[in-house]
Amino acid sequence: MEIKEITNKSFGINLTPNNPVAFSKEPIPKFFRFLEIAKEEQINTII
């Protein structure tokens, strides 16, 4: 997965090649838990 900074305290990550957007303004540990839940639920795009 590719992580890049979108704006100050907001991050985007590529979850899949076809749906490359996930955003979170939560602190990074919460953001990664958020992504784990997304992967478990097979959610590819989160806004």
Contact 44, 27 (CB under 8 A): no
Of the candidates 3, 27, 24, 26, which has an alpha carbon nearest to the alpha carbon of residue 13?
3
DSSP, collapsed to helix, strand or coil, labels residue 8 as coil
What are the start-end ranges of the E strands in the chain? Answer: 3-7, 10-13, 23-24
Q: Where are the domains of the chain?
A: 3-40
SS3 content of the chain, % helix, strand, coil (to 5): 30, 30, 45
Note the pLDDT of residue 7: 46
Dump pLDDT digits (tens) for 9-47: 445 555 555 554 555 555 566 667 777 766 666 655 555
